[in-house]
Chain A
């Protein structure tokens, strides 16, 4: 069977049960394309900061996975526990183990990955997108990495508590002439996102898993972002807004409630007709791509963009 072509198809292949995540990442990576980032390979020593499991970073850097790969391949082996945790867990992936050896990337794409949680370490190490993966404590200075990297890829920066401290840390990682790539939500995402939609708190907790709280702690405007980064010694080379209302509607609310049902769907198919799952999945990915590609491509013209992708230099 052929491989899913293109970056968006690869994201959907990995996140076919969470297509809203694939949509968000593709909108982000497209914004970085527009900002002139170019390829992530051959950029010298590269760091994937707060790498989590490394899947979106790997795909952004050109990794191509087979149809048999997905972000949820290790989920669902313990159904009752999973069902319970779907309601309460902050992160579904806490339940997940590592990826099988058949899905390990043949060549690392980043010199180093820094993760902050044990379950991310297990997954990132087994994925093989990084030559080495380091588990950092929440307040770890990571001083061993000072001045070491030409490229710091930090697309999950917005999950961190203290952006000022983290921005200074990113600056310290850089060699002279190096670049930091990151993204942050803006006031638009906060003011017009789920918090502003009057979603009841119980449902909000199911849909949100902490993102809105993080967004509220973030900067509100481009000038605030510029100030935050320049205080850390990082200077704006390019900024590109992304995630207009269609991407955000779909990401925050539209497709998100479908995840538990789609996960249940996959689990039952695995139990009964597992041998056909890749065929089903490839069709589903194709259908999702047909439905969502115009959302991604239309994002550049969309109004009310709630996020900004930054290319920063020291």
Chain B
């Protein structure tokens, strides 16, 4: 199967964002202080959505949702330019050990235009994610199941397509998780997951071996550790799914090494300082209005450099650090 724009006859249509650059443009107003994260999300999600266009179903499930922002934008939704993820960050939350977790969780979502396609169900592992995801309105129903085990146990079966973008860590490859995911798919349905390759594992180990604790804190330490475990590779998934009656129906390579370096080894090291400046400006009544102009120009400049990075989304199999893989259950 190759990825294409038109669904087979009889399938419900998935209407997605027009291009990787449009996807990035849609994410940046919300994630403007994390442009590297927006870039990486596009590199994983755009090929996945393109793939899911061909497999879409009237009953769809996103397993392990975050705030729903990426799904919302990927399916054609737009937030207003004055909305962002950092509107309610306070100096107290900035002082947290993991500053990347200090983004607002209770910010009212300002939807400029709704998503063109809705996902039937979203399973959130954290309650705060469910609150945000409901506000985006991209899921018909959001279920909260705290913790992965609980989420797997949700009695919600018979979906035509299950997308699990956020479960990149090694737990998923354990038989229990895969069985749980598989149990939510009806016969003829599909599971779509992004999977790191052995090259990604090797690169993560290489960086992890040489990064000091200070670097791990400022660059992408937690993610690198997950990737370096190296248990979530394609062969493991294939074996487990095969035993459950699934087969690989599509396999799309993505994320080139330089794109991973942009993500893992770039601007994220100054995120704390960028965010603390924005928080200080927003708390000063005389300077609050400066933020809009600051954001607008920052976003424009980030777009200029990062659009070519996301436009380069089609990787060759032998250079890709990730694969987006669709597993089909039984005969389609």
Give A contacts to B, CB under 8 Å.
Answer: 83, 86-87, 194, 197-200, 202-203, 206, 245-246, 249-250, 253-265, 267-269, 271-273, 280, 283-284, 287-288, 290-295, 298, 301-302
Q: Are B211 and A294 in contact (CB under 8 A)?
A: yes
A sample of 13 inter-chain contacts (CB < 8 A) reads A87-B304, A198-B256, A257-B262, A258-B35, A265-B274, A269-B294, A272-B290, A284-B270, A284-B273, A287-B273, A290-B214, A290-B218, A298-B210
Question: Which B residues touch A292, using CB under 8 A?
Answer: 269
- Nearest 7 interchain pairs by C-beta: A254-B265, A272-B290, A203-B308, A294-B212, A260-B301, A291-B269, A258-B267
Q: Are A268 and B269 in contact (CB under 8 A)?
A: no
Docked complex: B281-317 residues within 8 A CB-CB of A: 281, 287, 290, 293-294, 297-298, 300-302, 304-306, 308-309, 311-312, 316
When chains A and B are docked, how far (Å) is the Cα of A263 from the Cα of B302?
Answer: 10
Q: Are A260 and B269 in contact (CB under 8 A)?
A: no
Q: Which residue of B lies closest to A302 (CB)?
A: B210
Question: Which B residues touch A202, using CB under 8 A?
Answer: 308
When chains A and B are docked, how far (Å) is the Cα of A307 from the Cα of B19?
Answer: 39
Give the total number of A-B pairs whose CB atoms are below 8 A apart.
Answer: 133
Q: Are A287 and B269 in contact (CB under 8 A)?
A: yes
**Chain A nearest Cβ from B216, distance in angstroms:** 10
Contacts A269-B277, A294-B214 aside, 18 further interface pairs with beta carbons under 8 A come to: A200-B308, A203-B308, A250-B265, A253-B262, A254-B261, A257-B262, A258-B270, A260-B302, A260-B305, A261-B35, A261-B267, A261-B298, A264-B297, A264-B300, A283-B273, A287-B272, A290-B214, A298-B212
Q: Are B319 and A198 in contact (CB under 8 A)?
A: yes
By secondary structure, the A interface counts as helix
Question: Which A residues touch B218, using CB under 8 A?
Answer: 287, 290-291
Q: Are B258 and A253 in contact (CB under 8 A)?
A: yes
Q: Are B258 and A199 in contact (CB under 8 A)?
A: yes
Interface residues on B, range: 35 or more
Question: Which A residues touch B319, using CB under 8 A?
Answer: 198
Q: Which residue of A lies closest to B264 (CB)?
A: A254
Q: Is B257 an interface residue (CB 8 A)?
A: yes
Question: Which B residues touch A256, using CB under 8 A?
Answer: 266
Q: Which residue of A lies closest to B304 (CB)?
A: A260
Q: Are B210 and A272 in contact (CB under 8 A)?
A: no
When chains A and B are docked, how far (Å) is the Cα of A202 from the Cα of B311?
Answer: 11
Q: Which of B257, B294, B298, B309 is in CB contact (< 8 Å) with A272?
A: B294
Q: Are A272 and B219 in contact (CB under 8 A)?
A: no
Interface centre among A86, A87, A294 (most CB of B within 10 A): A294
Q: Is B215 an interface residue (CB 8 A)?
A: yes
